């Protein structure tokens, strides 16, 4: 009974969170890029969210990012910021601070490293419950995961949501090793030795140099003697995300204005686009994403009915797949000098913790001819723009399976180790 109470519906938890978390803080949290908590994506204007009544889903290919976790590399910035605060305690203790910074008098950081947190487990239980509600007549043989421990644990808690809180069957979880010797559609970046985060470091760094100094100066002016550097301010943004993931709240969220959060969100979008999107050179993200896209098309091309594929990976898994399919891609590429308000890359809504990318194959008796494809991204229909060819397609954000395949000929043409792969990714030794 106690276990049941711990893993109550995330819908109820969201209701409780709304009671105890100021609306302004929640509005900030869901704009923190890939470190945002899971939330339903906004529905695109003009796109129907429900299929016509004569249509029936035949097949489901489900991919989820792992749930909320402790920080990885981000923890370095949080720790450095916390140390700066500790060093400045003699001046902070006697300072008259503005309300939004008074927490600095007692602030400490107590975060782990990279492992799933309780909130992440709750997110995955919720996903499992909702998947069963949405597709009650579908079956799947096992969970396919990457080799990461937090991803495997996420699959376990998805299973508890789907099968019941007492479920525990490790034999149903099939991890694919995440290493340079294994080609996996969930971690193709492991076999792409040319991939480097130096590209994203340079691109997001250029924007950071524009927007961050003013925030740092504002904080230092409010707390004389604090002596924040821009990396400390960056640590504050990360603390907003990861304090919340670990503890359900973070005073750092209230320390930043809406405009500053918008600037950080753009920083996060540049990071994802330059790491796993079109801003990474040599078509690398599309080549990496081709592995998932080919696997998806192979599955959708079968005659299976009431069959689901349930897999769990990372934000990068979703991001490179979408890039390969021509989704969430900006043309021209995003600038590093100013925010583009109407951009397609919105990492907060596309790859938050627990993000879900669900492809449905469906058929209809009247509305559409032949098998059709729909993408539901974090509970909202995401228009398959590259393959939409009719007003009815546009109305529902869908396209025919044949047009979907045709629009992904680049991915279908790629083979691991071929000339295109070698030119973009290189080949593991």
Annotated catalytic sites, by residue?
A: 66, 315
Phi then psi for 116, rounded to 5 degrees? -60, 140
Spatial CA neighbour of 246 closest among 396, 151, 109, 415: 109
Would you mind telling me the total number of residues written for the chain in this entry? 429
3-state helix, strand, coil in the chain (%, to 5): 50, 10, 40
- Which whole-number Å values give the CA distances from 253 to 25, 32, 97, 231, 416, in the listed order? 6, 10, 16, 16, 43
- Which whole-number Å values give the CA distances from 395 to 45, 128, 334, 349, in the listed order? 10, 29, 28, 21
- Which whole-number Å values give the CA distances from 151 to 30, 64, 314, 321, in the listed order? 22, 9, 8, 18
Fill in the DSSP letter of residue 103.
G
β-bridge pairing 307-313 and 55-65: parallel
CA 264 – CA 252 distance, rounded (Å): 13
The 3-state DSSP class for residue 313 equals: strand
What is the 3 state secondary structure string of 189-207? Answer: HHHCCCCCCHHHHHHHHHH
CA 415 – CA 418 distance, rounded (Å): 5
Check: CB of residue 381 under 8 Å from CB of residue 49.
Answer: yes
Who's near 305: CB < 8 A, 6+ residues apart?
58, 59
Helices (H), 248-363: 258-276, 284-300, 315-324, 347-350
Spatial CA neighbour of 62 closest among 7, 120, 137, 143: 143
Q: How far out from the chain centre does Cα 420 lie?
A: 27
Who's near 161: CB < 8 A, 6+ residues apart?
7, 124, 125, 126, 127, 128, 129, 130, 131, 132
């Amino acid at each position: 009974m106690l276990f049941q109470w711990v893993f109550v519906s995330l819908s109820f938890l969201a209701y409780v969170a709304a009671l105890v978390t100021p609306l302004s803080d929640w509005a900030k949290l869901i704009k923190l890029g890939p470190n945002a908590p899971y939330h339903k994506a906004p529905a695109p204007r003009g796109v129907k969210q429900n299929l016509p009544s004569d249509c029936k889903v035949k097949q489901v290919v489900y991919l989820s990012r792992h749930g909320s976790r402790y920080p990885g590399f981000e923890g370095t910035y949080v720790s450095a910021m916390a140390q700066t605060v500790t060093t400045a305690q003699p001046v902070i203790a006697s300072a008259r601070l503005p309300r939004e910074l008074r927490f600095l008098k007692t602030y400490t950081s107590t975060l782990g490293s990279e492992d799933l947190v309780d909130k992440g487990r709750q997110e995955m239980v919720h996903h499992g419950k909702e998947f069963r509600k949405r597709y009650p007549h579908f079956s799947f043989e096992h969970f396919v995961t990457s080799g990461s421990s937090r991803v495997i644990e996420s699959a376990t808690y998805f299973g508890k949501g789907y099968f019941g809180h007492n479920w525990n069957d490790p034999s149903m979880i099939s991890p694919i090793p995440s290493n340079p010797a294994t080609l996996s559609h969930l971690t193709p970046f492991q076999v792409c030795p040319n991939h480097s985060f130096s590209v994203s470091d340079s691109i997001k760094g250029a924007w950071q140099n524009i927007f961050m100094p003013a925030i740092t100066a504002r904080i230092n002016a409010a707390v004389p003697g604090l002596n924040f550097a821009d990396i400390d301010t960056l640590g504050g943004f990360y603390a907003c995300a990861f304090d919340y993931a670990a503890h359900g709240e973070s005073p750092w969220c209230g320390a930043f204005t809406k405009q500053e959060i918008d600037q950080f969100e753009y920083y996060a979008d540049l990071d994802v686009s330059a790491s796993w999107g079109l801003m990474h050179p040599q078509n690398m993200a599309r080549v990496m994403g081709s592995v998932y896209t080919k696997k998806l098309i192979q599955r959708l091309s079968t005659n299976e009915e009431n069959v689901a594929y349930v897999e769990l990976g990372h934000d990068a898994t979703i991001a490179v797949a979408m890039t390969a399919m021509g989704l969430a891609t900006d043309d021209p590429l995003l600038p590093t000098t100013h925010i583009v308000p109407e951009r397609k890359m919105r990492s907060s809504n596309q790859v938050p913790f627990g993000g879900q990318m669900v492809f449905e194959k469906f058929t209809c008796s009247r509305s559409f001819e032949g098998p059709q494809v729909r993408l539901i991204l974090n509970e909202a229909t995401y228009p398959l723009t590259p393959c939409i060819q009719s007003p009815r397609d546009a109305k529902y954000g869908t396209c025919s399976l044949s047009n979907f395949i045709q629009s992904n000929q680049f991915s279908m043409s790629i083979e691991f180790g071929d000339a295109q792969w070698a030119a973009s990714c290189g080949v593991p030794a």
